[in-house]
Structure 1
Amino acid sequence: MRINNMYLLRRRVLLNRMLHSSMTGGVLLLICAVIAVLAANVPAMRGLHDLWSVNLGVSFGDGVFSMPLRLWIDDVLMAVFFFSVGLEIKRELLVGELSTMKKAALPMFAALGGMIFPALIYTAFNAGTPSASGWGIPMATDIAFAIGVLSLLGTRCPVGLKVFLVALAVVDDIGAIIVLAVFYPSHDIHFIYLLYALITVLALVALNRAGVKSALLYLALGVVLFVFVFRSGVHATIAGVILAMTIPARSSVGDVRAFSGPDTLLCRMESALHPWVTFFIMPVFALANAGVVIDASALGQGVMPAVIPGVFFGLLVGKPLGILTFSWLAVKLRLADLPSGTKWKQVLSLGILGGIGFTMSIFIDNLAFSDPYLVNAGKIAILATSIIAACTGVAALYMTTNKNNSKQ
C-alpha cells in the first residue's frame, strides 16, 4: 500500500512539473509563432523569414549534402522531437495511463474519434480539389500547447481531467505518427534502404535484449537508422519514434516497479531531452514554419481555398465532437469510466482544447502540399483555429469547473 501511495504521489509531482514546463513552453511557442508571422509580413523583419531558406551543407569527402535550413529543422531537429514523443509513449504504455486496457480504453476511443471526425469534415470540404491530400492536417493535437493552456486553470481543473488530456494526446501522437509514416512519405520509397533500416532496428533490439544500457551506443545506431530512413523516402522523423521503442525501460531490478524508476535509461533520456524539446526545438520549429503571408494574394484574391474551412471546422468542430462522441461510446459500452470528478460538459470542453493543432498540424501541412499557396493557406487556418480553440476551450473549462476540483 505504501509503495502504491508513493507511486501515485510521484506521478502527481511529475504531472505538475510537466504542466508547469508545458505552460512556459506554450507561451514561448506562441511568442515564436507571432514573431514568425511578423517576420513574414513586416518588411523590416523579412531577413528572419528569409533566413530559413538559406542552404546549409555538410561535406563528406568529395561529396556535399545541402538543403535549406528549414528542412534541417523539419527533418533533423524534429526527429529528436519525435524521439522524445516516442520515449513518452513507451513509458505510458509500460507504467502510465496506457499500461492496461481499462486505463487505455477511454483515451484510445477519444483520440480515435478526435482523428476520424476532423478528417471526414476536412474531406467533405476538399474532396475532388487539389487540397484533398491535406485530410491529415486537422487530425493532430499539439500536446505542449494544449497542456500549457490547460495549466492556466491551475487547481481549478480536476487532476483526472489533466491526466486524461495527457493520455489522449499521447494516443493522438501515435495516430499522427502512423498517418505520417503511411500516407505522407517525403519522397519515392526505396525499399533497399528500408531493408537497411530494418537491419539497424534488429541490431538495436538485440542490444536491448542483451541488457546493454549505453546511451551513446543507442544514439550512434540511431543516427545510422535516421540516415537509412531518410534515404528510403519515408519521413526521417519516424526514425526517432522507432529508436525510442528500442531504448531499455528497465533498471537492474527485474520487477515491474523498475520501469518507473528514474535510473532507467528511458527515464534519463526523457528527462534530459524534455527541456531541449520544450524550450529549443519546438520554438525554433515555430519560428521556421509559422510564418505565413497574410494578404489578399495569399488567399486567392478574395476566393477562399477549401483548405481553410476544412481545417477550421475539422479542428474546431470535428475534434470536440469526435472526442465527446467516442468517449460516450466507450463508457456506454462499459469499456471505460470517466475520470473521477469529471462531467461530460468538461469532456466537451477538453475536446475543444484538442483543436489546438499547431506544431503537428503545421508539420503535416508542409508534407501534404507541394503548392506554396496551399501550404500558406493551411498555416493561416491552423494558426487562427488554434488560437480560437485555446481561448474557447479554456473559457469553457473555466465555466464547467470549480475551485474544489483539485481535490478530486
Structure 2
Amino acid sequence: MRWVVDKVDVVVVGAGASGLMCAATAAYRGKRVLIIDHANKAGKKILMSGGGRCNFTNMDAAPKHFLSDNPHFCISALRRFSSQDFVDLVDRHGLDYVEKTPGQLFCEHSAKDLLDILMTEVEWSGAELKLNTKIHSIDFQDKQTIVKTSQGDVTCESLVIATGGLSIPTMGATGFGYDIAKQVGHDILPTRASLVPITVQPDRKAQLAELSGIACDIAATANGTCFQEPMLFTHRGVSGPSILQITNFWQPGEALNINLVPTLSSDDLTTVRQNTPKKSFEGFLSNLLPKRLVELVKTEFPWLNDRSAQTSNDQIDALYQYLSNFDIAPNGTEGYRTAEVTLGGVNTSEVSSKTFESQKQKGLYFIGEVLDVTGWLGGYNFQWAWASGYCAGQYV
C-alpha cells in the first residue's frame, strides 16, 4: 500500500540505534518526524549484538575510546549526552541490565527489551516509522528536500542520514549513506571492516583449526597499541575481544604481535627451572594455557616434558620467544560479513560537531556509524549512536 505525505519536518533514514534516538528526540520537540527503513524490522543490529543481549553502553566512554581522522569531533556530543544520560533513560523504563566487565552494560535478559524501550520512545514522541520502504532518489532544493520512495514521495526541511556503515550486509547494511554524502560533494574517508575476526594463512589454518573453540588471555599489539584480553581460536583463524579490538589499529600486511604469556618474562621461565628443577615446563605451561595449545607448543619443543633442570638457557629463550611472539600468520579479516563496525566514512571535518549538519548541504545531517567515528569494542559504538542521535535531534 502506497502512502503519500505532502510534508514533514524531519525524515530520518535508518531505523537503527542512532536513527531511533534522533527521531524520538526531534519529535519530542514538536517536530513532525518520519523514519524510513528498507528493512522489515527496526533495530536489527541492536537485536543481534552482544550475543543477543546488546552491550548498549560503556560507563567509561570518553573521546580516547574513539578513532577518527578528526579526533576532536566526538568530544562535544559525548559530553552533551553521556553514558549516564542513556542509563537514566532505560532506568525510567525499568530495563534490567548487568555490568559484565567494568563499565560494560548488557541487557540482563534480551536485546529486545532495549529495542522495545526505543520503540516506545518513538511511539510516545509521535514519530512515524515506515519499514519495507526503499528510497529511489533524493532531490535537494533551496528550502526543502524531496525524498522519492517505493511507497510515495515526501518532502522535508531536515534529512537525517542514520544508515550505518557496511558491516553485516545480511542485516541490510548498504553504502546508501555514503552515496548521499557523495551526491552533495562530501569526502568519504576510506572504509574497512573492523572489530572483526582475523583469518590466517592456509598452512597455519590447518594447524590452528585443531585449537578451534579454545580461548586464552593474550596481549595483541599493533602500531603501538596493545590489548590484553581473551583470544578465541576459530576454524578460520582467531577472534575474541583482544583480536576484535586490535583490528581497529591493524591492517593486513602490517606487523601483529600475539603474546600468549603477557604476564611472564624470560627471567620468569628461568626461575621456574631454578625453583622446580624436577618438574617439567609442560606442567608449568599447563597451568597457564589450554591443554590443546600446550600440545601444539610441544610439537615445536619436544623437550617440554623433560625435567626443567635439563633445559639450557638457549632452550628457555627460544621457548619464551615462541610464546611471546606467537605466529598466527595473519592473512586478513573476515570482512564486512562479520564485522561489528565500519572504520572510515563521511569526513567529519565537513560536518558540524554541534548540530551534525552537513557543511555542504543545508538541512542534511549525518549521525552514527556513517560518520568517520569508530569506537572500541565494549559498548562505545552504541554510546556514539545515542549521543550523535540525541544531539542532532536537538537541531533538526
| TM-score over 0.5 for the pair | no
TM-score, structure 1 normalization? 0.22
Asked which structure has the greater CA Rg, the reply is 2
State the structure with bigger RCO (CA 8 A, min sep 6), 1 or 2: 1
Choose between structure 1 and 2: higher strand proportion. Answer: 2
TM-score, structure 2 normalization? 0.23
Choose between structure 1 and 2: higher helix proportion. Answer: 1
